[in-house]
Structure 1
Amino acid sequence: MGNRTSAALGVLLAVAMLPGCSRPAPDQAAPAEAATPAEAVRRLTADLRANDLDAFATHAVTPAVHARLQTAWREGRTRWPLDQLPFARHLPRGMAALSAPDAEQVLQRGFERQLADASLGAAAEFLTLFTVQYILQQGEFSVSEREHYPQLVQAFGAWAAGAPIGDRDRARAAIATMTAAAREARLDSDQAFAEAGMEASLQRMSRVLATGKQVLASYGFDLDADLAAMDVQLQSQTGDVARVRMQYALAGTPIDTVVNLERRDGVWYVSDFLRHAEDAVARAD
């Protein structure tokens, strides 16, 4: 698979790795304050389901950490929360591949080559296996993340194995839609992300992720429907530490995971998100 084609596929994989890129149902709006552990999880999930990465970044960390992240982002020293995705360092390259002047032609030719070689399914299987191994063996993932994220990738791979990914009309429409969204974002390099700053970059990437979700839906992967029935339950709480269980289905595959939370100044935060953000600003400092 060509570099630009694989980079563009990586952007779509990033959509699948954010298991909440859909709008919340009216009766599932995010709570105004994360007064309980379950509310903290529901609020972050609602931010992602609303395609609002900027709100997610605000709610996932303390105000002090958020302010430091904004400074580090402008100086090009972190891309949190985007840099928590597998292969995040390739995100600017993926956006550049999608927004290049000849992106439609290059990506369509790459698709046709894969189709002629009957290797689209094999490529999807390889990407799934490689990503799972990366999460399990590399990166700075916690035990909870190494249990949760492979489930997401494997669900995506299982869906891809039976999805109409070889449909030329769908592919042509998907390429046109994603290239237009990438060009509108104007985030085709590390410098572009730094110049835009954290807030504007996340707002632009929110629109790209929303578009990616629509593309996946055109292939039968409806994240909105899958996540409407997510069940979030408190499993245990001891003082300022808690565990919350999340159960939902992704493309027909059951997802069952437990996340750790901690309370800071009366507000609950998902420990993994907070830890990654604090590590990011510590490295930047």
Structure 2
Amino acid sequence: MSHYPAAGIWTRCPACGRHVHQSQWGPWRQCPYCQAWQRLSATERVAQLADSGSFTALKSSVRSQDQLKFPNYATKLTQAQAKTGLDEAIITGWATFDTWPAMLMVMDSHFMMGTLNTTVTRKIIAALQQARQRRVPVVIVTASGGARMQEGLYALVGMNLILAELARFAAAKLPLVTVLTDPTMGGVSASFAFKGDVIVAEAGAKIGFAGARVIQQTMPTSLPDDFQSAPSLRAHGQLDAVVVRPQLRAYLINVLANYQQSGGPQHG
């Protein structure tokens, strides 16, 4: 019998470097030593936010294509699908929050860093269209490194396509709540992440466009220690709130309840 522990029992905290036993992370996936939050998968996020058993995924036959014949892209797609059990870097579907209905979209940073590509774009647009037809609020949870370089301009066009659909959604006077989690960067932060009527960040999230290292290499200036942190963005008026993970579901319930009380769709 091997004297080594079974695989997957211990995980190295990316923040402090300590080795943490799976039981120590707890239900909210927080390091017991430095209190850093572990990145969640999209399915874990849905389980924490939505009413139990309420999430119904939208059906989609759209699959990502290697249109540019980018080296090893097809292989990376297959590996990401096997690793996460998802077909792409986002899941979309109907959900309730303490019985308040909403369209819920959750990006997954474990799938090629949650990057925005043509398929993710189409899923977001389809979900927005269905929410507009049913006149229900939308909750988008971002977790992304930006646009997917393997799809080049095709991925970048998605930014404007989503913004155009969001303009139609806003014209219908329906609320959009964006929840920015770690990380929310690049083309996602530059497009729909900050378009919410309510913009909330999860505590510990890194949010920005270009990374701090890239900025320091191009600008002869030193950056503050809290650069691109959620509290810093809140202090500069870019966020409505910074909420710790255990309180995020209650925050969303309160937002959706307030919308209902101001004349939104019927309860239940």
With structure 1 as the length reference, what TM-score do the two structures score?
A: 0.28
Q: Which has the higher strand share?
A: 2
User: Which protein has greater RCO, CA pairs closer than 8 Å, 6+ apart?
Assistant: 1
With structure 2 as the length reference, what TM-score do the two structures score?
A: 0.29
Q: Which has the higher helix share?
A: 1
